[in-house]
Amino acid sequence: MKILYVDDEILYRKSLELVFRKDYDFHTASSENKGLEMIANNNFDIIITDGNLVGSHADNTDADYQGGVNVAKSAKNKGIYVAGVSSEPERFRRVAGDALDVIYKKPVDITVLKYIIDNKPTQEELKKFILTNKVNSKLGIVNNPKGLTLKQQKEWMDKYNEIEQSLGYMN
């Protein structure tokens, strides 16, 4: 699987590259222009792009997200699955419209990003995956809640609903 991760933050690019280069053909771009060039000249399976690619992350405006939107639209025009990551996912989703298949809130969780890469989920599928992981973590469950007693299943669902309500908008 060939993946492009576009982000102006070097820490994200380098750390994700270290994690994912073992299992994937993982590439990074540090800017909108570099991302657009790489999309035009390569055949990627997935593009993951930050929303704000302008370097300043204080007092963001919709215009600050245009770089991420351009990267997403360029990938979509080639039929590539696009995942957006942002500290302001609601804004990125609103500005990008249907150019994003899914949006996920920074800071990036490696487990969630791997799920996105391996499954290319819908937003609803991603929401369920994230909620399940949060509930399992709170309850100390390592695997999916299958095989739990009825009492444990009820506790699991109660915790799932509690976390879902507390999150409001879901990554």
**pLDDT tens for each residue of 128-143:** 888 888 877 777 765 5
- Burial level of 130, CB count in 10 A (0-12/13-18/19+)? buried
Q: Please state, in angstroms and rounded to a whole number, the distance separating the CA atoms of residues 83 and 78.
A: 14
> What pLDDT is recorded for position 149?
62
| Helices (H), ranges, the chain | 10-20, 32-41, 66-77, 89-96, 110-119, 123-139, 150-167
> What pLDDT is recorded for position 170?
47
Low-confidence ranges of the chain (pLDDT < 50): 169-171
Reported pTM: 0.80
The residue extents of the domains of the chain are 2-121, 123-171
> What pLDDT is recorded for position 161?
73
> What pLDDT is recorded for position 171?
44
> What pLDDT is recorded for position 123?
93
Q: Which CATH class is domain 2-121?
A: alpha beta
> What pLDDT is recorded for position 38?
98
CB 50 within 8 A of CB 68: yes
